[in-house]
Amino acid sequence: MSESLHQALDLSLFWEYRNVLLHGLAVNFYVFAASAILALLVGLGAALARVNRLWPLRALGTLYVEMFRNAPEYIMVVWVHFVLPLLLSYLIRSRLEFNPFASSVIGLGLVYSGYFAETFRAGIEAIPLAHVEAGRSLGMPEWLVFRRIVLPQVVRRMLPESVNQFISLFKATTIVSLIAVPDLMYDVTMITQQEMRPLPLYTGAALTYFVVVLAGSSALRALSERWRAKIYA
């Protein structure tokens, strides 16, 4: 094995900085969790707009979804951090700044809300009207029918696809170091500047992400399978 390859795969440097790096990874989790919640909530709203009876709402929903679903995360995060505050400052006529964490969450949340909106919409449209009618015929108001009959089934239906989207979102959190959110990749860059040995750090980071994503997605898949098996016997 060549000397440079050997060095690139030597993880002792990575291990040395494990505490710092673990903190970075925790930041990745925070960004992931916050933007996932935002994406789910906004995505559900956009999906409801897209299946609404009123066409202006449907059109607005479609515009929203297409806009954010087709925006690269990288550009959205940078745009939200640098351009959106300027725009808002102009509108409210006072100076406004986002901290990098908030910008990351908003940027990633918006992009993924576009994806989740489509998953929600497909799920909502897959629920038979007959299930809704059964609820209505018992005198359930529309919001109760949605909350108790439609939404729980939608969530179960969209689980397998959402696992993929959660994976993408988690991987996308690696770009937040660009606007100086102190995540794992940010730490890797900082340590590289001191140690001048980037390769083993990148190998370590790659392995870390691999393990985390694999463990997380396997657990989610197992959970969703168990949950669905009861219903679709």
Partner 1 sequence: MTAPTIKVVDLHKRFGPLEVLRGVSFEVRRGVVVSMIGASGSGKSTLLRCINHLETPTSGDVLIDGESLCFRNGVDGERKPRSLAEINRIRRNLGIVFQQFNLWPHMTVLGNVVEAPLRVRGLPRKQAMDVANACLARVHLAEKATQYPARLSGGQQQRVAIARALAMEPKVMLFDEPTSSLDPELTEEVLGVMRELARDGTTMIVVTHEIGFARDVSDRVMFLHNGLIEEEGPPEALFGAPKSERLRQFISKHLR
**Interface with partner 1 by CB under 8 A: which residues?**
128, 130-131, 133-142, 144, 148-149, 152-153, 156, 230-233
The CB-side HSE value for 59 (13 A sphere, CA atoms) comes to 3
Give the shortest CB-157-to-partner 1 separation in angstroms.
10
Distance CA 148, CA 210 (A): 37
- Tell me if 72 sits within 8 A of 144, measured CB to CB: no
CB of 10 to partner 1, least distance (A): 51
Closest approach, Cβ 136 to partner 1, in A, equals 7
Question: Is the CB of 64 or the CB of 120 nearer to partner 1?
Answer: 120
Work out how close the CB of 166 gets to partner 1 at its nearest, in angstroms, rounded to a whole number: 21
- The nearest distance, CB 195 to partner 1, in angstroms, is 53
CB-nearer residue toward partner 1: 92 or 138: 138
Q: Helices marked H in the chain — which ranges?
A: 3-9, 12-16, 18-50, 55-69, 73-82, 84-92, 100-126, 129-137, 142-145, 151-172, 184-195, 198-231
Measured CA to CA, the distance from residue 233 to residue 221 in angstroms comes to: 17
Question: How far is C-alpha 3 from the chain's CA centre?
Answer: 39
> What gap in Å lies between CA 96 and CA 87, rounded to an integer?
9
Least Cα distance to 44 among 98, 123, 97, 102 occurs for 123
